[in-house]
Amino acid sequence: MQREHVQRLTRLWPLLLLVAWIIFPEEWLGLKWAAFGHVLFTIFANDTEHAIGHIGLFLLLGLGTIYVFPELRKKLLLYFCLLLVGVIQEAAQLLFKHRWLAWDDWRDLATDLVGLTLAYALAWGWYTWRKSRMKRENTPFPID
């Protein structure tokens, strides 16, 4: 039991770093640090690339969370509470930009939801594939 707890904590810190990275206003840093801003505004030059960035970040967040907390596969509502990270991220951006909600903010939350949904589908597919494979090999399945 103690070893599982230590392993989970060891896996948790990269997930916490990812959450901090998602919430941190990169646009602000890009305006303050020219070299970072050049890279940031080159990579995310248009709305499509911006949406792909949101999907990618929340795909990583979803996969990382299910890796650390595999029991969330069975608790769908609790898993999708991760969208609160997106809400906090948008709120942080609004504070930085000194403005109210706009269409872009809702679109960003929708793309965050797409990333989380893709992560859940990938994790569910991997779990199903692995479970059927172990059943064929007649070995016990460790994460059930």
Chain segment 4-20, per-residue pLDDT in tens: 777 777 888 888 999 99
Q: For residues 107 and 51, is the Cβ–Cβ distance under 8 A?
A: yes
What's this model's pTM, rounded to 2 decimal places?
A: 0.80
Instruction: Give the ranges where the chain is alpha helix by DSSP (H).
Output: 2-23, 26-32, 34-43, 47-68, 76-79, 83-97, 103-136
Q: Enter the DSSP assignment of 9.
A: H
Chain segment 68-121, per-residue pLDDT in tens: 888 888 898 999 999 899 888 888 777 777 677 777 778 888 899 999 999 999
Q: For residues 54 and 106, is the Cβ–Cβ distance under 8 A?
A: no
Distance CA 70, CA 135 (A): 19
Residue of 55, 52, 120 lying closest to 81 (CA atoms): 120
Chain segment 41-78, per-residue pLDDT in tens: 898 889 899 899 889 999 999 999 999 888 888 898 99
What are the tokens at 57?
């970040």
What are the C-alpha distances in Å from 61 to residues 52, 83, 90, 103, 111?
14, 10, 16, 24, 13
Distance CA 141, CA 71 (A): 14
Q: For residues 42 and 51, is the Cβ–Cβ distance under 8 A?
A: no
